[in-house]
Amino acid sequence: MAAIEEGLASTLINFRSQLSWIQTSARNIWHQFFKKPTFLQLHWVYFILTCLISSLLFHLFSTININYVDSLFMVIGSMTQTGLNTVNMSDLNFFQQSLIMILSMIGSPIVVSIIVILVRKRAFQKRFKTKKREEEKRYHTSLTTSISSSFIANLDDHNEGRVRNGFVSGVQNIVQLVIKSNRLKDNRHVDRNAQFHGLSLEERECVHCVEYKAVELLGYVVTAYYVIWQFLGCIVLGTYLSTNYTEAISTNGFNSWWLGISLAIGAFNNSGISLLDNSVIPFGDSSYILLNMSLLMLAGNTAFPILLRWILRQILNLIPDTEKYEEWRETLSFILKFPRRVYTNLFSSEHTWCLLALLIFFNAFDWTIFEIFNHYSTEVSTMSTKSIILDGFFQTVSMRSSGFTVIPISSLFIGLQTLYVIMMYISEYPITITMRSSNVYEERSLGIYARELHNSDNIEKTGGISDLPMRRRDRFYFVQEQFRRQLTHDLWFLVIGALMIISIESSNFNRDPQTFSIFNIIFEIVSAYGGVGLSVGLPGKTYSFCGGWHNFSRLILCAIMLRGRHRGLPVDIDKAIQLPGDKLDFAEEQDHRIRAISSMAYHL
């Protein structure tokens, strides 16, 4: 009897232990995913909920016979800027066409970045108000001699914390301190990737003040950039189409202005949306339309960081160097000197020049290959020289982002199609790798620290270890590591998705092996994952090749599009998406100490 009681007691203890473990695990999971969600988790929730709600609206308000899988596919394709379509856009009603264009806008990386800016701006304001209340409660008076409180005192409580009287001298001093120290290569306060260290609490608070002003200014500039480019694009294309193509467009049942608006929005947001079923093929000989759309595609995607930095530089040059505008000049100087502390898609001068060089190289290379290879294409070789050059340039720009087609992809030389698969796969890499390699907390995100010291004082204190041979983990080393991890992140998902879709479409392959070839399926998958939207199409159809797949294959492709849209996001440990807090300041100081210890330990 005693043995039974002991056994029951032991079982009860084990049960309680297991129950406690389950409760703790559930609490940790809840805390991780719901209490403090990361940027990536919020981004996924935003996209999934928006797509589900929009797909229901798209399906309910449809005036044609369309199944829900097609509705979901069309919505996800526009939200992820992929642009693949299983239903002809011309068959959709006005509400559905409008919904598709709205989704392509609110899913744009620029819009997401504007939302991040607004959230961070609000967080800064709440932080300053909290600091102000704490100081008033502690000292029962306004600390006008404190740098941070003198800035906070300027917050207008009736205008959501906006600054009324500009920077105080302390804020200007800290900006000049960090900028000057970096320019003179003194590096007493600035480490790699614009990490600040060795600052006092008051100086840290001043940095927060400067970052707040930078975020506020960027909110205006980026929003204006996004609105003005699309507004001008709609005016330019709408006016030209209504003047020169009214009769041709009206015969297809479209309004010239509505078509121009859809082309401008589709080009800038890189969604490839065209109300015409054959994309922009009817405008293949119009240099005005193709060049303007090419400019919009570049401005909205691959050239966005380059143009944004150029605009900020020009604003700084135009602002008078007087005391009245000193606040704005200091803010712009801070943004241009330390862009990744305040914005995800703005980079240093060095990184921006590299992006420009890569942009020119890839486009020039693809354009040259297009002109060479298509001498073997029967359809292209019959075109005029002007059309071949113009269409080649447009298709090259479109191939890396938007997916507009001015020449049917299936008619291109097979070698060029193979090149397009490669370029669509790496289309996101230049900006993504630059974003992650310029991250303030890059070392922390990788778990690898550079074996180099930037502070000459620290080197002297360690007994002159700078004289010892040092194998540096330099910038190129970290770029290689980022590239390797990005490849690992991408490949396994693509391989699994391709295997599943190829297996499901085996019946179509047996029926028509040429149309449903493995290459065509891989082309469509890579196009979806890269967010491009190019498609080889189906014979006798004007929608994408995936429109002839089984429903389950299209659902898998939806998952691939969503996953591809999230591959170019900044990591969770990124200064430009983090809300301000003392933990971030501690992380910068800690990273500097770890880097110094790593350098010293390597030479012991």
**Range 457-460, long-range pairs (CB < 8 A, 24+ positions):** 457/188, 458/596
Q: Which tens digit of pLDDT belongs to each residue from 407-420?
A: 888 888 888 899 99
As beta bridge partners, residue 196 has 190
**Residue 211 CB: number of other CB atoms within 10 A?**
21
| Residue 293 · residue 271 · CB < 8 Å | no
pTM beyond cutoff 0.85: no
Q: How far lies 352's CA from each of 99, 226, 340, 438, 584, in Å?
A: 35, 19, 12, 11, 26
User: What average pLDDT score do residues 184-196 get?
Assistant: 61
Q: Specify the higher pLDDT residue, 122 or 168.
A: 122
The mean pLDDT value of the chain amounts to 80
pLDDT band of 252, cuts 50, 70, 90:
low
392: its two tokens: 């080649």
Q: What angle do CA 39, 45, 48 make, to 5 degrees?
A: 140
* Residue linked to tokens 């703005």: 346
Kindly state the average pLDDT of the residues 474-499.
77
**Calpha distance 186→176 (Å, rounded):** 13
Taking each continuous run of H as one helix and of E as one strand, the counts in the chain are 25, 2
| Model confidence pLDDT, tens digit, residues 114-133 | 999 999 999 888 888 887 77
Residue 113 in this model has a pLDDT that exceeds 70: yes
The tally of CA atoms less than 13 A away on the side-chain side of residue 329 is 12
Of 355, 301, 323, 120, residue with least CA distance to 218: 120
What separation in angstroms does the CA of 462 have from each of 16, 450, 458, 465, 471?
53, 17, 6, 6, 17
Strands 162-163 vs 155-156: parallel, antiparallel or unpaired: antiparallel
Paired tokens of 267 = 């080009």
* CA of residue 275 relative to chain centroid, distance: 26
Three-state SS at 224: helix
The pLDDT assigned to 185 comes to 43
Whose CA is closest to 565, among 99, 223, 98, 106? 106
**For the residues 470-485, what does the mean pLDDT come to?**
62
Q: Rounded to the nearest 10 degrees, what angle do helices 68-79 and 39-60 cross at?
A: 140
Chain-centroid distance, C-alpha 147:
35
CA triple 541-544-545, angle to 5 deg = 85
Q: What residue ranges do the domains of the chain occupy?
A: 109-137+164-354
Q: Which residue has the tokens 């001699």?
A: 145
Binned at pLDDT 50, 70 and 90, residue 569 comes out as confident
Listed range (104-108, 151-155, 565-569) with the worst mean pLDDT = 151-155
Position of tokens 């029951």?
Answer: 8
Amino acid identity, residue 136? E
What letters, b where the CB count within 10 A reaches 16 and e where it falls short, cover 61-73?
ebeeebeebbbbb
Chain-centroid distance of CA 230 in Å reads 18
Between these two residues, 97 and 149, which has the higher pLDDT value? 97
Instruction: Give the three-state DSSP class for 347.
Output: coil
Q: With 80 as the cut, is the pLDDT of residue 538 above it?
A: yes
What is the model's pLDDT at position 480?
72
Q: What is the DSSP letter of 266?
A: H
Q: What is the pLDDT of residues 514-525, one digit of tens each?
A: 999 999 999 999
Cα separation of 82 and 424, whole Å?
11
Distances (CA, A) of 294 to 289, 393, 400, 402: 8, 8, 11, 10
The model's pLDDT over 435-476, given as tens digits with 9 standing for 90+, comes to 877 766 555 555 555 555 444 344 333 333 333 334 455 566
Residue range 197-211: mean pLDDT, rounded: 77
pLDDT of residue 115: 93
Contact present, 61 and 95 (Cβ < 8 Å): yes
Any idea which residue has 């290569």 for tokens? Answer: 185
Number of Cβ within 10 Å of residue 169's Cβ equals 9
